[in-house]
Chains A and B, each alone.
Chain A
């Protein structure tokens, strides 16, 4: 706005120019609330209503009395941390290489990191079947040495890692680029070793971005379905993770059981959003983004 002493009337007129009439405002707001309510809120409420439909006692029994369900919870709690650690290490390495150095093929590498976002999870799972399955490229060799990857925990970890590896890297690259390299260069020129620089300068600088990437990666890893579905072989009590258990109970018409497991996953999703909102306040420079 130009500084030529705007009169009060002019200010109101200009403010009014960007404002919609009240009926439009109310109508659109109600419509948006209805969209979010019907698409998102009602389903979330329904998960808990479905889980608690037979009362708290039944809910508890559905979760912890069924050995297959119990096992699926334990399996998810085994697979996800391992895939997560692998992806954190990868994310740190990839972000360091991409944000701090210029080299041929850098753009291709960056694009490659986005790949899992557009590959169908089922196709991802299929690729691992083609490598590690009995008719696959490495299957016979592995069998001779008694190593089981497909239809076992290692396959689940691989498939989960594939689907979720972009999250940490994608989060860290812009954060590292925004922070810049001056402090790191200073540390190194003052005689810090690479490891000291990383621990004392890099990690403290990127910690909130890193935390942000980890919780997004974790949420996605816990919920991964398609890729895991293909490589798991659905052996109840052995290779069913929580999302697969939700599907199996649904197929068995055990809806309260299915919703009970789903409610745990929903709680995790809500927790993820709460932590995410908290972290966003700490990483204000960050672009709002889409994963």
Chain B
């Protein structure tokens, strides 16, 4: 068996050929079509499509709500991951399985329920609306549903790191007289940073493109609660394909940057984990 595996095992050209073919048809050609359509616009037309008061409001809303939601996800995700890893209580395994539900549940269903829970007669809205908390058809509604969608991303990136955390440093910190809070801040939290940042980026990226759930809960009011993907659909429904594509290209460029960033972050996490 002195030969390189590439020569011993069969099927290299067939599998690689099919992979490249499938990816070209399904991914590369469509992306190419998107950029070529955008390139058919003049610079002035492109700019006029992507930079209006309405698109600016949509970008700001998309970024703002995604940012707030991903930040909340980091806090809540760390809490949930901590409790799942460190404590034993009845129902822990059930809770662990439930964390994945937002990944398995169709986004339309999530949107439908969140749109009904927080209206003034809804299960939660009846308590919140009298307090002046309007979580239906507002920005808060968008944040809430994005927190729902993004929670598993943070929990599932933090959980394995927390499980593998070295017990000895923590014990050493305690035996050297650190309080529990000091150990948490100085000893436990730092190795979690890469996972927390990766989880944040994953939840943020997912939120930026989210459509299915947000259309239900936001009310889709131009300038107020209209996110960028909804704006693309609105342009498409007016048959303004050029303008829709221009906005789509902006989102695509952001997505690609996020993809590169997430890959770098994951490599960083793995390196940190290898150090520990």
Contact = CB atoms under 8 A, between A and B. Distances in A.
B160 A189 contact: no
B241 A133 contact: yes
A158 interface: yes
A109 B159 CA distance: 28
Contacts of B263: 111, 114
Given A90-B22, A194-B10, A262 B112 contact: yes
Contact of A120 (B153, B156, B211): B211
Interface of B: 1, 5-6, 8-12, 14-16, 18-20, 22-23, 26-27, 29-31, 33-34, 37, 76, 79-80, 82-84, 86-87, 89, 91, 95, 97-110, 112-117, 123-124, 147-148, 151-153, 156-157, 159-160, 167-168, 170-171, 173-175, 180, 183, 199, 202, 205-206, 208-212, 215-216, 228-229, 232-233, 236, 239, 241, 244-245, 248, 251-252, 255-256, 258-259, 262-263
A120 B216 CA distance: 17
Given A29-B89, A100-B5, A129-B236, A17 B175 contact: yes
Interface in A16-71: 16-18, 20-21, 24-25, 28-29, 31-33, 35-36, 38-44, 46-47, 50
A29 B9 CA distance: 52
Contacts of B112: 47, 246-247, 250, 258-259, 262
Contact of B170 (A17, A41, A119): A17
Nearest to A262: B109
A97 interface: yes
Contacts of A213: none
B9 A290 contact: no
Contacts of A276: 100, 104
Main secondary structure of the interface of B (DSSP, over half): helix
A256 B51 CA distance: 41
A226 B113 CA distance: 17
Given A47-B109, A120-B211, A127 B30 contact: yes
Contact of A289 (B10, B27, B156): B156
Contacts of B168: 1
A147 interface: no
Contacts of A18: 167, 170-171, 174
Nearest to B230: A122
Given A46-B116, A291-B103, A185 B5 contact: yes
Interface of A: 1, 13-14, 16-18, 20-21, 24-25, 28-29, 31-33, 35-36, 38-44, 46-47, 50, 86, 89-90, 92-94, 96-98, 100-103, 109, 111-124, 126-131, 133, 135-137, 158, 161-162, 165, 181, 184-185, 188-189, 193-194, 197-198, 216, 219, 222-226, 229-230, 242-244, 246-247, 250, 255, 258-259, 262, 265-266, 268-270, 272-274, 276-277, 287-291
B252 A122 contact: no
A290 B98 contact: no
A132 B9 CA distance: 39
B26 A161 contact: yes
A14 B87 CA distance: 17
A111 B259 CA distance: 8
B255 A120 contact: yes
Main secondary structure of the interface of A (DSSP, over half): helix
Given A35-B151, A109-B20, A288-B159, 18 more contacts: A13-B175, A36-B80, A36-B99, A43-B114, A46-B117, A46-B123, A94-B19, A101-B6, A101-B16, A112-B27, A118-B262, A120-B228, A127-B33, A165-B26, A185-B9, A226-B107, A229-B212, A243-B109
A223 B107 contact: yes
A117 to B, nearest CB: 8
A101 B12 contact: yes
A162 B159 CA distance: 30
B80 to A, nearest CB: 5
A179 to B, nearest CB: 13
Given A90-B18, A255-B116, A290-B202, A40 B98 contact: yes
Contacts of B174: 14, 16-18
B197 to A, nearest CB: 14
Given A185-B1, A194-B10, A288 B156 contact: yes
A181 B4 CA distance: 12
B250 to A, nearest CB: 10
Contact of B97 (A109, A244, A273): A273
A288 B123 CA distance: 34
A36 B95 contact: yes
A225 B233 CA distance: 13
B160 A17 contact: no
Contacts of B229: 120-123, 226
B205 A118 contact: yes
A14 B167 CA distance: 10
Nearest to A121: B211
Contacts of A33: 91, 95
A226 B214 CA distance: 10
Given A127-B31, A277-B97, A40 B211 contact: no
27 contacts: A13-B175, A17-B174, A18-B171, A20-B86, A28-B79, A40-B102, A40-B151, A43-B148, A93-B15, A93-B18, A102-B6, A120-B211, A120-B228, A120-B248, A121-B209, A122-B211, A123-B209, A126-B232, A127-B248, A185-B8, A219-B104, A225-B212, A243-B212, A262-B106, A273-B104, A288-B160, A290-B199
